[in-house]
Chains A and B, each alone.
Chain A
């Protein structure tokens, strides 16, 4: 925790300076609140409007968690089956890449036409956004299994199943967590996009309502909520990672960790 404060004060300071600059700009140039609210107005709305958006927030959090869990499971299952069955890899790997080239914005209305306004099309959108980084990262992790170790377990007479569970799976865990971290932040985006399409509540709905009624302060509140949610999900995965992968050497003076 201490290291977070030691390294973290610079971005926090930069953020505070940015807010101050922004605040002064809105005052000096007399920018109307519907065009660009000042940070103080946004924070005020964030506090006073809590009862207004907490329903939306709760709904989105629930959607993100469900969607992420499904997306992550799909990602892991796809990666494992592509890895273990070479035929599947040849057949489906290109399709998986293609699935990521279809813009979500285009796909989402189609999903609504097919599956209605319920939770199903939303979960599909989140799953589509989430599974890809996990699958790719995990497949890479499997493929980069240390050759010396693989050679050793083969010589020692390990079965295919033993090679997978005792070598490839634990070896790929750090890669899996890189994928999970990316997906955790993507899943928030995916949830908001899916809520734009048609939902009765959710941050996406709150945001659409706010912008169509020129409540720009509320748009900013929802932006901050999305950012905070993403950061929290990221942090949760990070904590899980530290807990699961407890064997890594402690890197001193590492600059890659906090970014």
Chain B
């Protein structure tokens, strides 16, 4: 059963076409990554899925219901942690729930403990490191009542090792909770390591170029990152992304 369906979505700003016939779906409990070059309109796509802007044509369906222009139907983890500096971490983490009604403090405290944020409930965001803020931001999404989580390049500002730690942490949390995730990134290894399926977007106007089902079994270990099979996948995807792009636009 498909959870999120993006059907033939196009978006253009005046003469500038950003998305062209983007078509894909995310199944229940599936981890799907959108991989594309920077500036390929991924953020525009997220804004449309989030209901902030409307598509020029096409539609978005969540559990069969059309959600064009309908806000709050998905849970969102932005690129920057976007924690409110005047709220404690606990209050920040509860924000998603608060906006839709009901606060579950106990669950939030338990979740923070699992994320290694124990003891920081009363701290303010400026007292936390980048990785910790990003974890808090993700917990906020997990605690939100929506079933589908959109992650917009959440680890792009982190250094390599923090990034790998965060990826492992994200996988462990995801495996425990089995939420559907749509993950945007331009980092090939990250996409392979995390996803069940990778959707490759072309440069502007963005369109789905290819889909790969990543066969590695779960739970995935860090050692996977250096295996031959992994590197072959990386090569395959790299070539797919790199060469048509060079011949068409440069």
Contacts and interface: CB of A to CB of B under 8 A. Distances in A.
Interface of A: 146, 148-149, 151-158, 162, 166-167, 170-171, 173, 245, 247-249
A167 B124 CA distance: 16
Q: Helix, strand, loop or mixed for chain A's interface?
A: helix
Give the interface size bracket for B toward A: 20 to 34
B86 A155 contact: no
Given A157-B71, A158-B99, A152 B126 contact: no
B75 A156 contact: yes
A247 B86 contact: yes
A155 B99 contact: no
Given A166-B95, A249-B126, A154 B52 contact: yes
Most buried by B among A146, A155, A167: A155
Contacts, number: 65
B109 to A, nearest CB: 20
A173 B126 CA distance: 18
Nearest to B74: A155
A219 to B, nearest CB: 46
A155 B50 contact: yes
Given A151-B78, A247-B124, A156 B84 contact: no
Contacts of B126: 249
Interface in B62-99: 71-76, 78-80, 82, 84-87, 95-96, 98-99
B78 A148 contact: yes
A149 B86 CA distance: 12
B134 to A, nearest CB: 13
Nearest to B137: A152
B99 A162 contact: yes
B7 to A, nearest CB: 20
